[in-house]
Amino acid sequence: HVSLVLFTSDLRLHDHPPLRAALASADAVVPLFVRDRAVEAAGFATPNRTAFLADCLADLDAGLRERGGRLVVRSGDVAEEVCRVAAEADAREVHLADGYGRYAARREERLRAALEAEGRRLVVHDAVTVAVPPGEVTPAASDHFAVFTPYHRKWERVPLRPAVGAPRRVRVPDAVGGEDLSGRGAGADASPGLPAGGERAARARLTAYWRGGLAAYGDTHDDLAADATSRFSAHLHFGTLSPVELVHRARRHGGPGAEAFVRQLAWRDFHRQVLAARPAAARADYRTKHDRWRTGRAAAADVDAWREGRTGYPVVDAAMRQLRHEGWMHNRARLLTASFLAKTLYVDWRVGAAHFLRWLVDGDLANNQLNWQWVAGTGTDSRPNRVLNPVTQGKKYDPDGAYVRRWVPELSGLAGPAAHEPWKLPARDRAALGYPDRIVDLAEGLDRFRRARGKQP
Ligand code: FAD
């Protein structure tokens, strides 16, 4: 008989339990991807993620063709398309990877109902898009952990399923047709420095990082100019890398760098278990409600300057320009730019989170919204009133100023840490830079923040 595998955020052939299970029990499989109209309508199909997705689909199709198969791509309502293709292929089973959050839960529910009405079965596989599925570890009195450290302690002890290899052969029934994949490349609105998507690019990056970066990760991951993190985030978002496989491989590698890296993957699972238990946290304040955010014209002008990288604070501007150029930003830079918006400018974190989602190629509801809440002091952070000073942060994590000079050409002539404080130059030299003045005084920003928070009930 025939089985169908619905690919979603798991666009790979290595370590893919749904495909493995389908191939083990059926004579032929239909590997299907549906361009989901609901995802597009919700604004998630941004130019950067659409371009990266096109690479992922083309590469998945190429990988399947090498194995005698091909990828079937359709567009429309996901439940309707799956039922249609299942009927065309007369598939008895549909295999699907786990997904978390309101949208994925609803998708699964609708698929199950629609398929069962036609006498077909939906099989959902856990630990495909995460290492440890939400709900697998819980504290005594709740359905999820709100604090990372105890979560991490338990997370580390969960035995992971073994990683599975890529299949050798995939037979796809001839009768099922799909859309032509050629001609879908990066649109004009995508970031010029966008990385390539697809499993092959992901695995090449994995090999290179294991050879050259992982061992030092613990020491270098906060160094902005070194750019020494894995850059796996978009691959994890689209599932061209498997979190289970990464944890196994990092543990086999061993050492403090690999250990620190695995801890970051635990953060990824942590935010997913929060969102799975509290889907509303994608928009609503998770723990502490704040509603005195600045609005109005002056705030809007500040937000524009922040978005465009002209706040007058060099490290903030460097980071915001990197985001637009590459569709990616270093974690330390995400922390300090988010703190600048939510605490120094005192603008609602949702405004910043939306801008990040617009540009990030790894833009991801669980990681983005919950990290934003963490920074804004509405989420799971244990120090909600900490404010990151952009000048101190810049000097600490970009001590030589190289990150600033890379992204802010106006400051490329300033040597060493002077790049972090252009306002210290003599007035004439300062004016000649053509670099904006600071939009906010840090002491005033801090004062405003404390007053607003102090008045909270
Ligand atoms: P590495 O440092 O190499 O880490 C390896 C992997 O661990 C990452 O690929 C990621 O999957 C995971 N990871 C690392 N840090 C975190 C973290 N703090 N929370 C959750 N997972 C983490 N990450 C996203 O994937 N999508 C987002 O939309 C996103 N938005 C963010 C917004 C803000 C305000 C902040 C502070 C962080 C955000 N992050 C997001 C988390 C983190 O910044 C990125 O995952 C990381 O910078 C990606 O680079 P990397 O792959 O080189 O990470």
Nearest ligand 1 atom, CA 236: 11
Taking the C-alpha atoms of residue 301 and residue 109, their distance in angstroms, rounded to an integer, is 43
The single residue listed with the structure tokens 């919950």 is 370
pLDDT at 181 exceeding the cut of 90 = no
pLDDT band for position 457 (cuts 50, 70, 90): very low
Residues 6+ apart with CB under 8 A from 212: none
Tell me the best of 221, 268, 356 to mutate to test the pocket of ligand 1, counting ligand atoms within 8 Å of each CB and taking the most.
Answer: 268
Q: Tell me the C-alpha distance between 256 and 254, whole Å.
A: 7
Query: Cα(70) to centroid of ligand 1, in Å?
Result: 32
Alpha carbon nearest to ligand 1 atom 11, residue: 233
pLDDT of residue 186: 61
Instruction: Identify which of 217, 231, 233, 261 to mutate to test ligand 1's pocket (most ligand atoms within 8 A of the CB).
Output: 233
What atom of ligand 1 comes closest to residue 330's alpha carbon? 47
Per-residue pLDDT tens over the stretch 318-346? 999 999 999 999 999 999 999 999 999 99
| Residue from 367, 370, 386, 388 to probe ligand 1 pocket by mutation (most atoms less than 8 Å from CB) | 367
Cα of 231 vs centre of ligand 1, distance in Å, is 9
Reduce the DSSP state of residue 214 to 3 states and report it: helix
Closest residue by Cα to residue 195 from 49, 404, 40, 9: 49
Residue 318: count of CB within 10 angstroms of its CB: 30
Q: Which residue spans within 98-237 are E strands per DSSP?
A: 121-125
Q: Give the CA dihedral 334, 339, 345, 351, nearest 10 degrees.
A: 60
User: Measuring CA to CA, which residue among 131, 159, 168 is closest to residue 14?
Assistant: 168
- Is there a contact between 281 and 143 (Cβ–Cβ < 8 Å)? no
Q: For residues 359 and 324, what is the distance between their CA atoms, to the nearest angstrom?
A: 6
* Closest approach atom of ligand 1 to CA 337: 34
Ligand 1 atom 50 nearest Cα: 231
Nearest-CA residue for atom 44 of ligand 1: 331
Using the Cα atoms of residue 357, residue 360, residue 366 and residue 370 in order, give the sign of their dihedral.
Answer: negative
Put simply, whether the predicted model's pTM sits higher than 0.90 gets the answer yes
CB 398, CB 332: distance < 8 Å: no
Q: Are 49 and 278 in contact (CB under 8 A)?
A: no
**Residue 302 backbone dihedrals phi, psi, to 5 degrees:** -65, -40
**pLDDT score at 259:** 97
Residues linked to residue 33 through DSSP beta bridges, in sequence order? 7, 73
Binding site: what residues are annotated? 217, 229-233, 261, 362-364
Report the binding-site residues for FAD. Answer: 217, 229-233, 261, 362-364
Cα 186 to Cα 51, 226, 277, distances in angstroms: 4, 28, 35
* Residue 36: strand pairing partners: 76
- Residue 112 Cα to ligand 1 middle (Å): 32
Residue 110: CB partners within 8 Å, gap ≥ 6?
78, 79
CA 79 centroid distance within chain: 25
Confidence of residue 43 (pLDDT cuts 50, 70, 90): confident
- Of all atoms in ligand 1, which is nearest to the CA of residue 230? 3
pLDDT score recorded for residue 292: 87
Query: What's the CA gap between 345 and 387, in Å, rounded?
Result: 11
pLDDT of residue 448: 92
Q: Which amino acid is at 98?
A: D
Identify the three-state secondary structure at position 42. coil
Q: In the structure, which protein residues have their CB atom closer than 6 angstroms to any atom of ligand 1?
A: 221, 229-233, 236-237, 264-265, 267-268, 271, 330-331, 334-335, 338, 356, 360, 362-364, 367-368, 371-372, 375
In the predicted structure, residue 12 carries a pLDDT above the cut 80:
yes
Average pLDDT of the chain is 95
Q: Which residues of 126-153 are buried (b: 16+ CB within 10 A; e: fewer)?
A: ebbbbbbbbeebeeeeeebbbebeebbe
Q: How far apart are the first and last CA of the chain?
A: 62
3-state secondary structure (DSSP) of residue 204: helix
Q: From ligand 1's centre to the CA of 330, what distance in Å?
A: 8
Rounded distance, CA 11 to CA 440, Å? 44
pLDDT (tens digit per residue) in 189-236: 899 999 999 999 999 999 999 998 999 999 999 999 999 999 999 999
For residue 54, give the 3-state DSSP assignment: helix
**What percentage of the chain reaches a pLDDT higher than 90?**
90
pLDDT surpassing 90 at residue 42: no
H or E element: which one contains 270? helix 256-277
Of the pLDDT bands very low, low, confident and very high (cuts 50, 70, 90), residue 284 is very high
- Residue ranges and CATH numbers for the domains of the chain are 2-128 (3.40.50.620), 130-158+200-277 (1.25.40.80), 297-454 (1.10.579.10)
Q: What are phi and psi of 340, to 5 degrees?
A: -60, -45
